[in-house]
Amino acid sequence: MVLTFLDYYGEEPVIWNASHPSHKQRNEVHDAWKRIEEKMGGEVSVVQLKKKKDSLMASFRIVAKRAKSSTKSGAGAADVYKPIWFAYEKMASFLSDKDESRTTLNSEVSK
């Protein structure tokens, strides 16, 4: 059931992608949560879905940080952490590039 939820959650970037044009529009985000609730058969409320998301994100952050820190320069193949948490691959498939750094503009005036 959790992996099914993650499938539906991944299909709604308006919720999890801060760079989505409608991410800050409450009505759009709420509508996305309602769509997930409907796809889940109405068995789980939006409040419960949000709590589950928070729990999954907390676990994902821990595992992702451990995986990222194990790939430091000089680490051998045996030293690289390979996550075995059941939801990691599913969540990483749509969240991994979400936090990539963006290019910045230089606002300094050069003379």
Is residue 67's pLDDT more than 70?
Answer: yes
Poorest-pLDDT segment among 24-38, 48-62, 85-99: 85-99
Whole-prediction pTM value?
0.74
pLDDT, residue 101, reads: 47
Where are the domains positioned within the chain? Answer: 2-91
pLDDT grade for 105, boundaries at 50, 70 and 90: low
pLDDT, residue 13, reads: 92
Q: Specify the length of the chain in residues.
A: 111
